[in-house]
Amino acid sequence: MLKVEKLKKSFAGADGPVPVLRGVDLSLEAGHTLALTGDSGSGKSTLLHLIGGLDTADSGHILLDGTDITTMDDRARAKLRRNSIGVIFQQFNLIPSLDLAANIAFQARLAGTYDADWTDELTRRLGLADHRTKYPEQLSGGQQQRVAIGRTLAARPRLVLADEPTGNLDETSGAEVLSLMLDLVGDTGAALLVVTHSRDLASKMERQLHLRQGVIER
Ligand SMILES: Nc1ncnc2c1ncn2[C@@H]1O[C@H](COP(=O)(O)OP(=O)(O)OP(=O)(O)O)[C@@H](O)[C@H]1O
């Protein structure tokens, strides 16, 4: 479902462009999970942003179910992002003026895929049912992380991209949230790509790839 080919990306530096991704190749099938590890600054988040359509590559291809998103215009990419790709950021990005229930429903409503039963089930399974009317600032970090996961999965994306999804949680709640995320992703048949520093988290994914010096280590 996801195929990345010869992907390159540089950022402007004081002495000219600094290459971050030097030709990344990877693939991920529907219903499967993949961990991407690599040293700090190796380009993991950059790669995730490109796959998520949040930034554009210098060259190479990103195929989502056969459609090349690198050749799409901004509007088409935004639509694809809304309808097919779910991104879970480290910093939650919840909407402060919306309560928990509205935050969880937000993306699904935008995508036109809101399903009240599925959203209720997600809210319950994420252990958030008693907090529906609370606002983000009234929630703990772990609860906010679970809302961010719920919001993404409520829209039933085909591809879920997660950047350190348990980075702000202690070990026990991190493990709980991860196993819940794997169950929920399994239930929706989505593909999951997780960027992480944690070997433990990476080992819970079916496959692990390591990014080093701008390429996937073989
Ligand atoms: N918008 C930007 N402009 C300039 N340089 C950038 C930009 N985004 C990232 N970089 C640089 O690209 C490199 C890779 O950054 P990236 O955030 O992708 O790494 P990472 O592997 O996710 O790191 P970490 O594990 O620390 O989060 C870094 O050297 C960073 O400074």
Q: Report the pLDDT averaged over residues 76-100.
A: 89
Taking all residues of the chain, what is their mean pLDDT, rounded to a whole number?
Answer: 91
| 15 within domain boundaries | no
ipTM for the complex shown: 0.95
- Locus of tokens 């990103």: 62
| 45 within domain boundaries | yes
Atom 28 of ligand 1, residue of closest alpha carbon? 41
- β pairing state of 159-163 and 33-38: unpaired
pTM comes to: 0.91
Q: Looking at residue 121, which CATH number applies to its domain?
A: 3.40.50.300
Atom 5 of ligand 1, residue of closest alpha carbon? 11
Domain total in the chain: 1
| 8 within domain boundaries | no
Range of 180's domain? 29-57+71-216
| 137 within domain boundaries | yes
Residue 56 Cα to ligand 1 middle (Å): 14
Q: According to the per-residue pLDDT averaged within each range, which of 35-39, 73-77, 109-113 is highest? A: 35-39
| 78 within domain boundaries | yes
Question: Does the structure show a pLDDT above 90 at 54?
Answer: no
| 178 within domain boundaries | yes
Question: Does the structure show a pLDDT above 90 at 6?
Answer: yes
Q: For every residue of 21-65, which 3-state class applies, written as one string?
A: EEEEEEEECCCCEEEEEECCCCCHHHHHHHHCCCCCCCEEEEEEC
| 189 within domain boundaries | yes
Atom 8 of ligand 1, residue of closest alpha carbon? 46
Ligand 1 pocket test, pick from 15, 46, 216 with the greatest ligand atom count within 8 Å of Cβ, gives 46
